[in-house]
Amino acid sequence: MIKKIRQDLRKVSEPDRIPALQNFFKTGPGQYGEGDIFIGVRVPNTRKVATKWKDAPLEVVDKLLDSEIHEERLLACLILVQKYQKSENKEEIYNFYWKNAKRVNNWDLVDLTAHKIVGDYMLETGDTSKLYELVQSENLWERRISVISTFAFIMEGKFDDSLKLAELLLKDEHDLIHKAVGWMLREVGKRNLKVEEKFLDKHYRNMPRTMLRYAIERFSDERKKHYMKK
């Protein structure tokens, strides 16, 4: 089965896209995606392959997650989302995701899955304690998972965990965390601008600039100027 899945993925690959993807996902020496290998598959096509193989057993998904090829790991993540959404045993998929969190190791893999599996499961159980463990992780991707998972809460009008995690990450040194937190703050503001502005009024002078820019992206030019003041 794994061989057929890989063949399906390669049938929709576009090798001429590889250089652009390697640059976009920062695969150079010392960059966050160092050594990641691409075969040039567009996300919509990866989704189609995931739908075809959504019933693949977790053992196969595990092998895909272990791949050095970016699109194979993304395929595994998208299969997991489909499995979770139709599963009668969501806890199994949730636990599998956590067990393999370090292999969900680029921002697109995180952003397309964390809120749909981790966030959704925590909405059901009400237990968000794991997020506060991960927010302290030395692993960049686990920290990003902790933030992006709260998107599921935000969509339900629940902002507390997003704001608490944002506070804990104000001094994080990585640009990808700044972007993730800023994105979640912006999503809070879409639903309740007063809540976002209250957070910004307290922290904007000390927030990383990238985080702040993402958070105020939808603001008027006048409001942006106000918050961008040191």
Residue range 95-115: mean pLDDT, rounded: 95
Residue range 196-200: mean pLDDT, rounded: 97
Residue range 84-104: mean pLDDT, rounded: 93
Residue range 23-38: mean pLDDT, rounded: 92
Residue type for 8, please? D
Quick one: what percent of the chain has pLDDT higher than 90?
95
Band (pLDDT 50/70/90 cuts) for residue 88 is confident
How many Cβ atoms from other residues are within 10 Å of residue 28's Cβ?
12
Band (pLDDT 50/70/90 cuts) for residue 229 is confident
Q: What is the reported pLDDT for 221?
A: 92
pLDDT of 230 over the 80 cut: no
Band (pLDDT 50/70/90 cuts) for residue 132 is very high
pLDDT of 224 over the 70 cut: yes
Instruction: Annotate 33-98 with DSSP letters as a single string.
Output: TTT-B---B-HHHHHHHHHHTTT--HHHHHHHHT-SBHHHHHHHHHHHHHHHHH-S-HHHHHHHHH
Residue range 87-94: mean pLDDT, rounded: 93
Q: What is the reported pLDDT for 55?
A: 94
pLDDT of 192 over the 80 cut: yes
Between the CA of residue 185 and those of 83, 147, 173, 200, 219, what are the distances in Å?
29, 10, 18, 9, 12
Residue range 95-101: mean pLDDT, rounded: 94
pLDDT of 31 over the 80 cut: yes
Quick one: what percent of the chain has pLDDT higher than 70?
100
pTM more than 0.75 = yes
pLDDT of 57 over the 80 cut: yes
Q: Average pLDDT over the chain, rounded to whole? A: 95
Cβ proximity of 165 and 147 under 8 Å: yes
